[in-house]
Structure 1
Amino acid sequence: MKHHLSTLRASCLTPLSLAICAISCGVTSGAHAAESAASPAVPVALSASLASHDIDTAVVKVQMVGDDVLATQTGKYAGAAMISGFVLNVISQWQLPNGVTALAQGTLGAVQNAAGQLVSTVSTLASVTGGSGGNQAGGTGANPNAQATGGQSISVNGVSQITQVAGDKNTGTNSALIDFNSNAVTLAGTANAPSATASNSTGSIKAGISFGSNGIRVALQTPAGLATQTIMPGNGQIAQLLQIAGNNQQVANALQLNLQTQQMSASMLRQLGVLQALQNSRR
């Protein structure tokens, strides 16, 4: 039994800065193609109130809120002056049913030195391993009669996650996460290598990653489909795409941005304490 699942999640974001701080929150999308269909996307909204406290007649009212309202909301946030560095990890992995694994991963890091200047580092790794060749149509799980296309033509100013699946017993996941962590893990790879590529002996399975002036691109190509990640700081785009046309495929795109913050001095902590005390006294 064949299913065609296509999901898209997007958020309108401002252009990316050096630390790609335009990722406003962690987002995840995925599809499991077997005997179930994908659930429709739910728009972001604020729950206004319950129409009634009676369980039998309770109805949740939802009201869409615009940017003009959200802009006045208060809360905790990280200002640009607080960010002292970042570590960006990107990884794509494809496991075929015959045991072949295609992998592309990389890390971009930037920290401030004693002079206040940003010092960047980069590492990349690409590999195709395992299996018994990986070029037989049956062994790879590829289905020549299945198609998963169209996702490449979608352009979003912000974060887009697209999963297209045609086949059975497939698992595909796109995930993007932003975190504040001073002890971020750096993925294994060749230091100071802005790009890496790998393929099997026949060239039917390829893995590649590149860091360039125009952004970051990760791509896996197999007989059963395609997995890509594209980050373009110039126009504020982060795109994750999965296209699976086959059976028993295990695919994942993952992006993690770890923002490092400066330690607050004792005098700054005292100033904040006095400010909060004054604010509380006015209530």
Structure 2
Amino acid sequence: MKRHLSSLGLAFCALTYSQAYATPSADINPTPGVLSRHDTASTLQWQAVDDDVLAQQTGKYANASMISGFVLTLLSQWQLPNGASATAQGTLSASHNALNQISASVSTQASVMNGSGNSGANPLAQTRGAQGISVNGVSQITQVAGDSNFGLNNAEISFSNAALPSLPGGNNNPNASAANAAGTLRASISFGNGGVSIALQTPAGLATQTIAPSGAQQAGAIAQLLQITGNRQNVVNQLQLSLQTLPVAATMLRQASVLQAMQNAIASTRR
């Protein structure tokens, strides 16, 4: 399992969370539905913590032998004020079977919907430069030129003993794409070459998510990008890695506790 995670560059060090903000005159008004559950993100606050404080913290560690499977889920959705939308999503799942062999599967979906009336796009607005940024690790970038927009980049990792989620209605294909007849709305997702690429293109901007594997030039990267050039746009990039952990027997917990107590006792005698 550890080899599969490394091949996708999924080196999450912590949960990362980013809320996009419009220009000073903008009002952020998320619409109901898939975006409404994120409307409390602006209340989150971050506080820097010194190294000497972090050194005293304890937590839980999950090693490779505890992971029995994982599901990587990506979703990008763009809703325009005229009712048009573009959506791309996909999942990559891997699990151990009864013979302790790893099996993997991929499912993807892409769709677009035309609208009527004003799309909210602003042809005079510009957002540029972010696509040329190269980052090792996790990056979340949002550029907004307009008013009353809502944009969200969200990446998270979770552990569970429950069954892993799946993508209902998806095709068993590593690629999916959709576009309207005019070519103004496009949605695509692709799994391949050890990475993932998802992109939405609309009259009011673009949204992308990329997972690039490690190589000679980089250590691996996960990037989420929003570029909004319009008004009253609602956009979300969401990436979730769900890890399925093996249940730990009571005897193993007792053994781990005894081992930790012995290690602490030995360490204290050396001080």
TM-score bucket of the superposed structures, by smaller chain: 0.7 to 0.9
Bigger Rg over Cα: 1
Which residue among 13, 22, 28 is the counterpart of 2:11?
A: 22
- Alignment partner, residue 38 of structure 2: none
Is 1:177 aligned to 2:156, yes or no? yes
**What is the rounded CA distance, in whole Å, between the counterparts of 2:63 and 2:55 in structure 1?**
15
Which residue among 49, 66, 69 is the counterpart of 1:46?
A: 49
**How far did residue 19 of structure 1 move?**
6.7
RMSD: 2.9
- Alignment partner, residue 159 of structure 1: 138
**What is the rounded CA distance, in whole Å, between the counterparts of 1:239 and 1:273 in structure 2?**
39
Is 1:35 aligned to 2:24, yes or no? yes
Is 1:229 aligned to 2:209, yes or no? yes
Contact 1:88/1:257, CA 8 A, preserved across alignment: yes
- Alignment partner, residue 123 of structure 2: 144
Paired letter, 2:131: Q
Contact 1:107/1:187, CA 8 A, preserved across alignment: yes
**What is the rounded CA distance, in whole Å, between the counterparts of 1:237 and 1:160 in structure 2?**
8
3-state SS of the aligned residue for 1:152? helix
Change (3 A) 1:275 1:36: farther
- Alignment partner, residue 86 of structure 2: 102
**What is the rounded CA distance, in whole Å, between the counterparts of 2:248 and 2:198 in structure 1?**
37
Paired letter, 1:46: V
Q: Structure 2 unaligned runs (5+)?
A: 27-41
**How far did residue 18 of structure 1 move?**
4.4
Give matches, 1:201-280, under 5 Å.
Answer: 201-234=181-214, 235-276=219-260, 278=262
Contact 2:91/2:107, CA 8 A, preserved across alignment: yes
Paired letter, 2:258: V
- What TM-score do the two structures reach when normalised by structure 1? 0.76
Paired letter, 2:128: T
Number of residue pairs matched by the alignment = 242
Change (3 A) 1:25 1:77: same
Q: Structure 1 unaligned runs (5+)?
A: 1-14, 48-64, 133-137
- Alignment partner, residue 91 of structure 1: 75
3-state SS of the aligned residue for 2:128? coil
**How far did residue 45 of structure 1 move?**
3.9
**How far did residue 236 of structure 1 move?**
1.3
**What is the rounded CA distance, in whole Å, between the counterparts of 1:19 and 1:204 in structure 2?**
31
Change (3 A) 1:276 1:194: same
**How far did residue 281 of structure 1 move?**
7.2
Contact 1:229/1:239, CA 8 A, preserved across alignment: yes
**How far did residue 25 of structure 1 move?**
1.6
- What TM-score do the two structures reach when normalised by structure 2? 0.80
Is 1:129 aligned to 2:109, yes or no? no
Contact 2:9/2:222, CA 8 A, preserved across alignment: no
3-state SS of the aligned residue for 2:247? coil
**What is the rounded CA distance, in whole Å, between the counterparts of 1:231 and 1:193 in structure 2?**
18
- Alignment partner, residue 8 of structure 1: none
3-state SS of the aligned residue for 1:81? helix
Identity %: 58
Paired letter, 1:226: L
Is 1:199 aligned to 2:192, yes or no? no
